Structure 1
Amino acid sequence: MAVIFGTKGNDKIKGTPKSDIISGGSGNDLIYGDGPNGPRPPFPGESTHSFEIRTSNLIQGGKGNDTVFGGYGSDRLSGGDGNDWLYGSGVLDGKPHAYLDESDGADTLEGGHGKDHLFGGGGRDLLRGGHGNDHLDGGTGTDTMTGGAGADVFAFGRLHAQAKLPVLDKGDVITDFQDGVDRLDLTGFARIFNKPVEYLGQGEFTDSSRLQVRWEVQGEHTRVEVWAPFFNNPGVPSGPNAYIDLIGVHTLKMGDFILV
């Protein structure tokens, strides 16, 4: 394990292939938790045993507008003050998302103060935006997100980095969604399917060839359901193929969504 401290200036810090503790200090820092050369997930066809990742980095960006890549293990990232960009997954040769998201571990990302952007990557991640108007994207895996104070945006809908197929979120949880303040960004689905997202409110799905979103209260939580049209089969969908759970009973309106 290495313990690495940045300076008061703008640092570029590279971790080691082992578990590290990194503090960026003041300044606008660029931090690679695992360094630019791994460890990395296996390429398709390579033995997974040769590339087993057991690192777990603890990284604090500190003051300033920092960009932090945690690595492919189960990492804990804290942005601190400033407008930070936190990535739970790794980076190799300066190319984020170059490997299978499923190889990433369960990360904890904490934005802190400022307008932060949090990207969980693969794994069952925990994202906390903190103070400020934050952007949270859990990535693949079943994630739990807390926006914190401010008007936050929770983003869904993306392509798998390797397979180039849509990733459908099932079971992501938002703990503190604020009606009329926070928003659910579904424009990723619209870009992938090249279709507008139709808002149905509490109405039922109507056509399996259309990209649609609806919501309903289920006990002590509110479920947001998405139907994504993989095939142009005729008929009415029997249920969603993606969904997000909001803790608590909510009354959502079209303005709570970003659809275009």
Structure 2
Amino acid sequence: PTPTPTPTPTPTPTPTPTPTPTPTPTPTPTPGDSGNNNIFGTAGNDVINAGAGNDQVSGLQGNDIISGGSGNDGINGNQGNDGINGNQGNDLLYGGQGNDVVRGGQNDDIVYGNQGADQLFGDLGNDLLYGGRGNDTVSGGDGNDTLSGDFGADVLSGGSGADIFVLRTSTAVNQIEQADFIVDFQIGVDRIGLTGSLTAQNLLLQNVAGNTVIRINPSGQILGIVANTPPTVFSVNDFVPVNIGVV
């Protein structure tokens, strides 16, 4: 018989190694100097010191730490849970998205928490603080400050000075636990700021456990709560009209 030929084995091809990709270097934010700088963060967690001068800083993505330095700075944390300090100068500060900690520092600052549960501090100077959306903690610090919790159940503390606590008609609520809570109102020193056409004559003050619940009459909606201050000590002089814009 004719022998059966032995098949020639097919050689196994050697796999081509996959080249290791070269990582793209992460851009580093440009530090500020003594000039007026425009500084942008990255997608990561940046530490930015703007330095002297009147600077504009955008943190962009990530949980950033931003210091304005001296000068009148404009800082926006953008996305992430950011820590912002305006330091010296009359600064305009925005927390942006996320749960931010924003400090005005020295001089007269305007501070916006924007979205998230933010902690806002005016520190020194006569500051204007807006909580924005979310349940915020807003502290004026020293100086004659104006505090507006805006949307959410906010905690407002004026600190020293003659402060105005703004209770907006547009953010009135139906439940006590949803209302802004003023913790250190000083009768004869601080004021309650009313928006729109609302006046003291349109209010109903209700005593709840030694606190004053401020309601709109006759709707019964709640503007806010003043801690440890009964309704009997209030007068019409404790309420003033304010116009600080919309949120």
Q: If the TM-score is normalised by the length of the shorter chain, which range does it land in?
A: 0.7 to 0.9
Task: Determine whether 1:23 maps to 2:23.
Answer: no
What residue in structure 1 maps to residue 121 of structure 2? Answer: 110
Q: What is the rounded CA distance, in whole Å, between the counterparts of 1:27 and 1:154 in structure 2? A: 28
TM-superposed CA distance for 1:156, in Å, is: 2.0
TM-superposed CA distance for 1:197, in Å, is: 2.6
Paired residue for 1:197, among 190, 196, 199?
Answer: 199
User: CA offsets, 1:175-226, max 9 Å, x none?
Assistant: 000111111111x232xxxxx5352xxxxxxxxxxxx212132223122112
What residue in structure 2 maps to residue 47 of structure 1? Answer: none
Paired residue for 2:54, among 10, 18, 42?
Answer: 10
Q: What is the rounded CA distance, in whole Å, between the counterparts of 1:119 and 1:110 in structure 2? A: 10
What CA RMSD, in Å, does the superposition of the two structures yield over aligned residues? Answer: 1.6
Unaligned runs of at least 5 residues, structure 2: 1-44, 243-247
Task: Determine whether 1:144 maps to 2:179.
Answer: no
What residue in structure 2 maps to residue 33 of structure 1? Answer: 77
| Kept in 1: contact 2:200–2:239 (CA 8 A) | no
Q: What is the rounded CA distance, in whole Å, between the counterparts of 1:180 and 1:63 in structure 2? A: 31
TM-superposed CA distance for 1:8, in Å, is: 1.3
**What code does the residue aligned with 1:112 have?**
D
| Kept in 1: contact 2:122–2:139 (CA 8 A) | yes
User: CA offsets, 1:95-147, max 9 Å, x none?
Assistant: xxxxxxxxx21000000010000000000000000000000001100100000
Using CA pairs under 8 Å that are at least 6 residues apart, name the structure with larger relative contact order, 1 or 2. Answer: 1
Q: What is the rounded CA distance, in whole Å, between the counterparts of 1:226 and 1:132 in structure 2? A: 30
Bigger-Rg structure (1/2)? 2
Task: Determine whether 1:219 maps to 2:201.
Answer: no
**SS in structure 1 of the partner of residue 185 of structure 2:** coil
User: CA offsets, 1:151-171, max 9 Å, x none?
Assistant: 00011226xxxxxxx332442
Unaligned runs of at least 5 residues, structure 1: 40-54, 90-103, 159-165, 191-195, 200-211, 228-236
**What code does the residue aligned with 1:5 have?**
N
**SS in structure 2 of the partner of residue 248 of structure 1:** coil
Task: Determine whether 1:258 maps to 2:231.
Answer: no
Task: Determine whether 1:85 maps to 2:113.
Answer: no
Task: Determine whether 1:181 maps to 2:201.
Answer: no
Paired residue for 2:139, among 121, 128, 134?
Answer: 128
| Kept in 1: contact 2:167–2:224 (CA 8 A) | no
Q: What is the rounded CA distance, in whole Å, between the counterparts of 1:130 and 1:198 in structure 2? A: 27
| Kept in 2: contact 1:108–1:126 (CA 8 A) | yes
**SS in structure 1 of the partner of residue 151 of structure 2:** coil
Q: Which runs of 4+ in 1 moved over 4 A?
A: none
Change (3 A) 1:259 1:32: closer
**What code does the residue aligned with 1:33 have?**
G
| Kept in 1: contact 2:59–2:77 (CA 8 A) | yes
| Kept in 2: contact 1:109–1:127 (CA 8 A) | yes
Q: What is the rounded CA distance, in whole Å, between the counterparts of 2:68 and 2:49 in structure 1? A: 6
Q: What is the rounded CA distance, in whole Å, between the counterparts of 2:144 and 2:228 in structure 1? A: 21
Q: Quote the sequence identity (%).
A: 39
| Kept in 2: contact 1:156–1:189 (CA 8 A) | no
